[in-house]
Amino acid sequence: MVKAVVGANWGDEGKGKITDMMAEDADIIVRFQGGANAGHTIVNDYGKFALHTLPSGVFYHHTTSIIGNGVALNIPVLFQEIKSITDRNVPMPRILVSDRAQMVMPYHILFDQYEEERLGGKSFGSTKSGIAPFYSDKYAKIGFQVSELFDEDLLEEKVKRICETKNVLLEHLYHKPLLDPEELLSNLHEYKEMVEPYVCDVSAYLHQAIKEGKNILLEGQLGTLKDPDHGIYPMVTSSSTLAAYGAIGAGIPPYEIKQIVTVCKAYSSAVGAGAFVSEIFGDEADELRRRGGDGGEFGATTGRPRRMGWFDCVASKYGCRLQGTTDVAFTVLDVLGYLNEIPVCVGYDIDGEITTDFPVTAKLEKAKPVLKTLPGWSCEIRGIREYDQLPENCKKYIEFVEEQIGYPITMVSNGPGRNDIIYRKSKFSK
Q: Where along the sequence are the contacts to ligand GDP (CB under 6 A)?
A: 7, 11-17, 39-41, 43, 293-294, 300, 331-332, 334-335, 413-416, 420
Shortest Cβ distance from residue 295 to ligand GDP (Å)? Answer: 7
In this structure, what is the dihedral angle of CA atoms 13, 18, 23, 26, given to the nearest 10 degrees? Answer: -90
CB-nearer residue toward ligand GDP: 184 or 411: 411
Q: Is 39 exposed, middle or buried (0-12, 13-18, 19+ CB in 10 A)?
A: buried
Shortest Cβ distance from residue 329 to ligand GDP (Å)? Answer: 9
CB-nearer residue toward ligand GDP: 40 or 307: 40
Shortest Cβ distance from residue 162 to ligand GDP (Å)? Answer: 32
Shortest Cβ distance from residue 425 to ligand GDP (Å)? Answer: 20
Reply yes or no on whether 201 is catalytic.
Answer: no
CB-nearer residue toward ligand GDP: 99 or 297: 297
Catalytic-labelled residue, pool 20, 40, 108, 112: 40
CB-nearer residue toward ligand GDP: 137 or 334: 334
Contact 50, 40 (CB under 8 A): yes
Residue 363: closest CA among 375, 373, 354:
354
CB-nearer residue toward ligand GDP: 43 or 370: 43
**Sequence-ordered list of residues with C-beta below 8 angstroms from that of 164, at least 6 positions apart, any chain:** none
Question: What DSSP element (H or E) covers 268?
Answer: strand 268-270
Reply yes or no on whether 40 is catalytic.
Answer: yes
Q: What are the strands of the beta sheet with 28-31, ordered from one edge?
A: 199-200, 94-98, 64-67, 28-31, 216-219, 2-7, 257-265, 327-331, 409-413, 421-423
Residues in the chain: 430
Return d(Cα 381, Cα 228) in angstroms, integer.
Answer: 37
Q: Is 2 exposed, middle or buried (0-12, 13-18, 19+ CB in 10 A)?
A: buried
**Sequence-ordered list of residues with C-beta below 8 angstroms from that of 186, at least 6 positions apart, any chain:** none
Taking the CB of residue 223, how many other CB atoms lie within 10 A of it? 31
CA angle (170 as vertex; 168, 175 as ends), nearest 5: 120
Shortest Cβ distance from residue 139 to ligand GDP (Å)? Answer: 25
Shortest Cβ distance from residue 205 to ligand GDP (Å)? Answer: 25
Shortest Cβ distance from residue 302 to ligand GDP (Å)? Answer: 11
Return d(Cα 198, Cα 189) in angstroms, integer.
Answer: 15
Question: What DSSP element (H or E) covers 51?
Answer: strand 47-51
Contact 107, 179 (CB under 8 A): yes
CB-nearer residue toward ligand GDP: 281 or 338: 338
CB-nearer residue toward ligand GDP: 5 or 374: 5
Q: Which residues are catalytic?
A: 12, 40
